[in-house]
Amino acid sequence: MADAKDKPDEPTSDNAVPKAVVSRLSLYLRELQHLVRDGHETTSSTQLGRLLGFTDAQVRKDLAYFGQFGYPGIGYRCSELIDAIKKILGTNQPWALAIVGLGNLGRALMGYRGFQHQGFRIVAAFDVDPAKIGKSIEGVPVHHLDDCSRIATEHHIRLAIIAVPSPSAQKVADALVAAGIEGILNFAPVTLNLPKHVRTIGVDLAIELEQLSFSVVNPPAKG
């Protein structure tokens, strides 16, 4: 679902860790959070692998990129590994987030509980529709896009979500870059031209459906 640029499977010159490994860190984190919620204090690469459909070797290899986390005879201590993965992902600190575009998608994302659970707090929303500006949606104030530099500085906002129609996406991105935003999650199906220091991930929901289509037309072998 991410832009290709963000998902090569092999190490790139940008970073020594393959992006596929980083994306699996999120999956390990979720399973660990589930395990803790279910009262488990420790786990193993075998259990994590089984829960996720990976081999235990894959789990160990992925984590080995970042350090040594297991204990002989114990395995992984869940909350310790959660803390370590969050630190690697940068979500050991809360992120203040802005969202631009308050159509159905933007409003849906503002109500999306999963963000807050993982440490992402939407603190400001931006639009250009006078009917929306000054209102509050899901408890978050809606500002005019023209004010994004001031608001971003005031609230220490480093990440933003673009949920505007494609024709407006680049203009919005330019405004966000000028406001000092460092990372953009882009739901508009266009490739953004951004300076190198600004990171971006493009979300293309049709890719998920294509993957589903593939798995339906290529069912698992019987037996």
Shortest distance in whole angstroms from residue 154 CB to a second copy: 20
Going from the C-alpha of 160 to that of each of 56, 131, 171, 187, the distances in angstroms are 36, 22, 14, 11
Of the chain, the end-to-end C-alpha distance in Å amounts to 31
Nearer to a second copy, 146 or 209 (CB): 209
CB 25 within 8 A of CB 89: yes
Q: Residue 14 or residue 154: which is nearer to a second copy going by CB? A: 14
Closest approach, Cβ 223 to a second copy, in A, equals 9
The 3 state secondary structure assigned to 107-138 is HHHHCCHHHHHCCEEEEEEEECCCCCCCCEEC
> Contact at 8 Å (CB) between 139 and 124?
no
Q: Which is nearer to a second copy, 1 or 36 (CB)?
A: 1
- In angstroms, what is the minimal distance from the CB of 3 to a second copy? 8
Nearest distance from residue 72's CB to a second copy, in Å? 26
Tokens 């159905």 correspond to: 104
Which residue's CB is nearer to a second copy, number 30 or number 144?
Answer: 30
Length of the chain equals: 223
Question: In the complex, what is the shortest distance from the CB of residue 23 to a second copy, in angstroms, rounded to a whole number?
Answer: 6
